[in-house]
C-alpha cells in the first residue's frame, strides 16, 4: 500500500532551541585498528560518573578514525585528559585535541529524519555568518551544533531566522 | 551484566559520503547540501567535526538516491562555487574537477540505531568495543537526543546485533529490526501552497 502526503510550511518548525554552555570538546585521532581499545577508554570515563552531551565518530582517512566527545564541565578537564592521554602514550599515530569552553545549541523537529533540507538549513547560515562549527550531528529528529562559547548568541540568532518554534 | 535498552533498528541500504575541508572558505560541502535540498534528497545522517584546521564531514543518504547525487556531483560548479571550492588539491579550479573530487563514497552502508542511550559513556564504550572486537568496522557514528546511530556495512547489520546480544538486553516484545515503512520524496511540480495552507492531502 502506498500513501502520498504533502506537507508544506513557510518556515521549518521545531519543538525548541536549547543552549548549553560550559562544555569541553575532546577529539581523539587514532588508528582504525585501535577502535576496540578506544571503546574501552570511553567506557573507563563512565567510571568517573560522566555522561556525554554529543558524540560523533568519523573515518578521516583509510587508516584513521576520529572520536569526538562533548562533555559537560570544564573544571574536570585535567581528569578527562589524563584518562585519554593514557591511551596516547604508546601510540605514535594518535593525538588529542581539547577545545574549551564551547557551547552546544540543539533543536528537534517533526520527522526531521525523513525530510530533506534540514542539515542545509541548519549549517549554511553558520557558514554565511562565519561561525566556526566545531562539531555537529544530525540524526534522528535532532540537530546538534557545537560553537565557540563567545559565538553562541550569533549562532542562536542565525538559527532563529531559519527555524520557528 | 547486560545493559537494558529500548530497542535496535536498521536503516534501509545507504551510501555514505565523506568530505574533508582544509579551508574555512571551502564551500563545496554546503554547495552540495544546497543542491541536495533543491532536489529533495534527504540526508538520514550527517555529522561534522574539526581537527586543527581541517573540517571532517560525513553524511548518508538512501541508496536509491545515488544516481541523482552522481549527476549533482558531476555538475560543473557555478562561478561562485568555483571561487569557494578551491583546495590545495586544485579541486574546483575553473574548468577543473567537479564536486565529485571532494567526496569519498562508501557504498552498501546501513545505520544501526540503538536507543535510548541515556547519555551513557558506559553503553557507548561497550558498544564500540564489542563491534570492534567482532571485526565490524564502524564507518561513522553520531548521537541524537536519545539514540546512537552507527554506520556499518549494510550486510553486517545482523551480525552486529548478534555481537551486541552479549552486552545489551532488548525488551521481549521488540519490534522487527528492519523498517516496515519506506518514506521517499516525490516530485510535485504543480504544487503551489497558498499562504494559509499548512496541510494538504
Examine the domain organization and report whether A97 and A46 are in the same domain.
Answer: yes
Separation of alpha carbons A14 and B164, rounded Å: 34
The reply to whether the predicted model has a pTM over 0.95 is no
Search chain B and give the residue with CA nearest A138. B46
Report chain B's mean pLDDT, rounded to a whole number. Answer: 85
- Range 73-112 of B in CB contact (< 8 A) with A: 111
Chain A residue numbers touching B129 (CB-CB < 8 A): 36, 39-40, 43
Q: Pick B121's closest partner by Cβ from A4, A32, A50.
A: A50
Give how far B128 is from chain A: nearest CA, Å: 5
Q: Pick A56's closest partner by Cβ from B24, B142, B197.
A: B142
Beta-bridge partner residues of B110: B152
Residues B139-166 have pLDDT tens digits of 999 999 999 999 999 999 999 999 999 9
Residues B94-139 have pLDDT tens digits of 445 567 888 999 999 999 999 999 999 999 999 999 999 999 999 9
Examine the domain organization and report whether A40 and A91 are in the same domain.
Answer: yes
Classify B3-11+106-169 by CATH class: alpha beta
Examine the domain organization and report whether A121 and A149 are in the same domain.
Answer: yes
pLDDT of residue B88: 42
Separation of alpha carbons B85 and A114, rounded Å: 29
Output the 3-class SS for B176-199: CCCCCCCCCCCCCCCCCCCCCCCE
Phi-psi region of B151 (alpha: psi -120 to 50; beta: other; left: phi over 0): beta
CB contact under 8 A, A56 and B51: no
Examine the domain organization and report whether A62 and A115 are in the same domain.
Answer: no
Domain extent listing, chain B:
3-11+106-169, 17-105
Give how far A94 is from chain B: nearest CA, Å: 12
CB contact under 8 A, A6 and B188: yes
Chains A–B, number of C-beta pairs less than 8 Å apart: 193
Statement: B17-105 belongs to CATH 1.25.40? no
Specify if A6 maps to a domain. Answer: no
User: How many structural domains compose chain A?
Assistant: 2
Specify if A4 maps to a domain. Answer: no
Q: Does B25 touch chain A (CB under 8 A)?
A: no
Domain end call among A101, A120, A151: A101
Domain end call among A86, A101, A116: A101
Amino acid at each position: 500500500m502506498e500513501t502520498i502526503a504533502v506537507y508544506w510550511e513557510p518556515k521549518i518548525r521545531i519543538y525548541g532551541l536549547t543552549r548549553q554552555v560550559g562544555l569541553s570538546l575532546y577529539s581523539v585521532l587514532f588508528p582504525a585498528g585501535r577502535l576496540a581499545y578506544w571503546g574501552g577508554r570511553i567506557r573507563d570515563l563512565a567510571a568517573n560518573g560522566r555522561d556525554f552531551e554529543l558524540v560523533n565518530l568519523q573515518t578521516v582517512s583509510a587508516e584513521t578514525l576520529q572520536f569526538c566527545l562533548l562533555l559537560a564541565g570544564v573544571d574536570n578537564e585535567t581528569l578527562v585528559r589524563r584518562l585519554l592521554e593514557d591511551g596516547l602514550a604508546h601510540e605514535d599515530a594518535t593525538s588529542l585535541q581539547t577545545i574549551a569552553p564551547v557551547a552546544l545549541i540543539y533543536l528537534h523537529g517533526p520527522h526531521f529524519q525523513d525530510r530533506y533540507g534540514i542539515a542545509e538549513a541548519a549549517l549554511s547560515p553558520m557558514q554565511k555568518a562565519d561561525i566556526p562549527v566545531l562539531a555537529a550531528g544530525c540524526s534522528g529528529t535532532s540537530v546538534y551544533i557545537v560553537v565557540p562559547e563567545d559565538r553562541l548568541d550569533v549562532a542562536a540568532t542565525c538559527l532563529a531566522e531559519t527555524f520557528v518554534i | 551484566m547486560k545493559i537494558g535498552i529500548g530497542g535496535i533498528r536498521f536503516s534501509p541500504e545507504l551510501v555514505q559520503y565523506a568530505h574533508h575541508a582544509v579551508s574555512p572558505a571551502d564551500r563545496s560541502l554546503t554547495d552540495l547540501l544546497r543542491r541536495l535540498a533543491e532536489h529533495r534528497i534527504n540526508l538520514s545522517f550527517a555529522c561534522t567535526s574539526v581537527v586543527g584546521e581541517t573540517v571532517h564531514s560525513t553524511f548518508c543518504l538512501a541508496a536509491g538516491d545515488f544516481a541523482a547525487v552522481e549527476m549533482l556531483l558531476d555538475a560543473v560548479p557555478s562561478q561562485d562555487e568555483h571561487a569557494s571550492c578551491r583546495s590545495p588539491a586544485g579541486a574546483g579550479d575553473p574548468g577543473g574537477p567537479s564536486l565529485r573530487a571532494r567526496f569519498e563514497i562508501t557504498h552498501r552502508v546501513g545505520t544501526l540505531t540503538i536507543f535510548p542511550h541515556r547519555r551513557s559513556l558506559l553503553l557507548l564504550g561497550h558498544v564500540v568495543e564489542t563491534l570492534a572486537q567482532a571485526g565490524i568496522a564502524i564507518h561513522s557514528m553520531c548521537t541524537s537526543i536519545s539514540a546512537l546511530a552507527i554506520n556499518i556495512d549494510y550486510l553486517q547489520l545482523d551480525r552486529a546485533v548478534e555481537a551486541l546480544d552479549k552486552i545489551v538486553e532488548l525488551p521481549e516484545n521488540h519490534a522487527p529490526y528492519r523498517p516496515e515503512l519506506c518514506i521517499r520524496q516525490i516530485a510535485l511540480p504543480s504544487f503551489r501552497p497558498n499562504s494559509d495552507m499548512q496541510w494538504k492531502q
